[in-house]
Amino acid sequence: MGRGRCPASRLAYRLAQHPTFKDVIIEPVGIGEETIATDEALDAWLLGSIGFAGFHPAGTCKMGPAVYPMAVVDQYCRVHGLEGLRVTDASVMPDVVRANTNATTIMIAERVAGWI
């Protein structure tokens, strides 16, 4: 198994397999053992599944109703299926903004803080 370029992605996958998460994670979406088997396969999956523009990742935490299989958060950035957890960073952006992601992320966090 390749272990070179994406150790954090592999670690996150392995952590999600731990029995502690069996009641929270029903099944991984779009990623499996074959995807993390090699650097090339993992790179291809990451590039095809996550929005990237240089070093500003965005769009990794899809926003939408709970009935959408790929949606992770609702329109108020609340994580589906977990009470009291919100995601307020660039991952909820559907696309990478043309400006620096920092300012947009601050705006998202301030807006959500206002709802809390």
| HSE-CB of 18 using CA atoms within 13 angstroms | 7
pLDDT in tens, 31-89: 778 888 888 888 888 777 765 555 566 778 888 899 988 889 999 999 999 999 999 98
Which range, 15-19, 57-61, 108-112, is most confident?
Answer: 108-112
Residue 91: the pLDDT is 87
Asked whether the whole model's pTM tops 0.75, one would answer no
pLDDT higher than threshold 60 for residue 1: no
Instruction: Please report the pLDDT score of residue 50 as a whole number.
Output: 66
Quick check: 5 pLDDT over 80?
no
**What pLDDT, on a 0 to 100 scale, did the predictor assign at position 52?**
53
Helix residue spans in the chain (DSSP H): 7-16, 33-36, 39-49, 101-115
- Whether 18 is catalytic is no
List the catalytic residue out of 31, 41, 43, 56: 56
Query: Which burial class, exposed, middle or buried, applies to 9 when counting CB atoms under 10 A from its CB (0-12, 13-18, 19+)?
Result: middle
